[in-house]
C-alpha cells in the first residue's frame, strides 16, 4: 500500500508531463499544422461527431484527458482506492492539477508578452525622441 503522502506527491509530479504534452500539442508552433487542420475540421466537418472529435484535439483541457488516460495506463497510478475507483479519482485529479499548471503557465506567458510589448514601446518612444 502506497501512503497518501506518496500518492499526493505523485499527483503533482504526474500532472507536469500531462500539462506539458497537452499544452505543447494544442498551442506550440511545432504542432501548428496539425492544430490548424483539427481546428478547421472541428468547424467544417459534416457530422457533429467529427466536429467534436477534432475539437477535442484543439482544446488543452479536453486533450489533457486523453493524455491523462495514457499516463494512467503507463504508470498504473491510482489515488485513494486500490481498485478502478482509484483510477477514476486519479484521472480527474490529474486533469484538474494539470489544467491549473497550464493556467499558471498561460498567465506567465501573457504577463511576459505584455511586459515585452511595453518595453518595446518605451524603446521606440526613446528612439523617436532622440531623432
- For the chain (131 residues), the mean pLDDT of every run of 10, in chain order, is 89 97 92 93 93 91 95 95 94 97 93 88 81 68
Give the pLDDT of residue 129: 78
Residue 50 placed within a domain: yes
Element containing residue 36 per DSSP (H, E):
helix 32-44
Q: Is 67 exposed, middle or buried (0-12, 13-18, 19+ CB in 10 A)?
A: buried
Size (the chain), residues:
131
Cα gap 10→79, rounded to integer Å? 9
Tally of domains within the chain: 1
Residue 120 placed within a domain: no
- Among 104, 98, 115, residue whose Cα is nearest residue 25: 98
List the domain range (segments joined by +) for residue 80: 4-99
Three-class SS state of 38: helix
Q: Model's pTM, two decimal places?
A: 0.81
Q: Find the largest Cα–Cα distance for the chain.
A: 72
- Among 12, 4, 35, 8, residue whose Cα is nearest residue 101: 12
Residue 77 placed within a domain: yes
Residue 124 placed within a domain: no
Residue 110 placed within a domain: no
Amino acid at each position: 500500500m502506497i501512503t497518501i503522502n506518496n500518492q499526493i506527491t505523485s499527483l503533482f509530479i504526474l500532472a507536469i508531463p500531462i500539462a506539458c504534452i497537452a499544452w505543447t500539442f494544442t498551442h506550440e508552433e511545432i504542432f501548428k499544422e496539425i492544430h490548424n487542420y483539427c481546428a478547421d475540421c472541428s468547424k467544417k466537418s459534416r457530422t457533429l461527431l467529427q466536429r467534436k472529435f477534432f475539437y477535442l484535439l484543439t482544446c488543452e483541457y479536453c486533450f489533457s484527458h486523453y493524455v491523462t488516460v495514457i499516463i494512467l495506463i503507463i504508470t498504473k497510478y491510482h489515488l485513494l482506492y486500490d481498485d478502478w475507483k482509484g483510477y477514476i479519482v486519479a484521472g480527474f485529479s490529474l486533469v484538474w492539477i494539470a489544467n491549473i499548471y497550464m493556467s499558471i503557465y498561460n498567465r506567465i506567458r501573457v504577463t511576459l508578452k505584455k511586459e515585452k510589448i511595453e518595453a518595446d514601446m518605451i524603446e521606440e518612444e526613446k528612439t523617436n525622441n532622440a531623432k
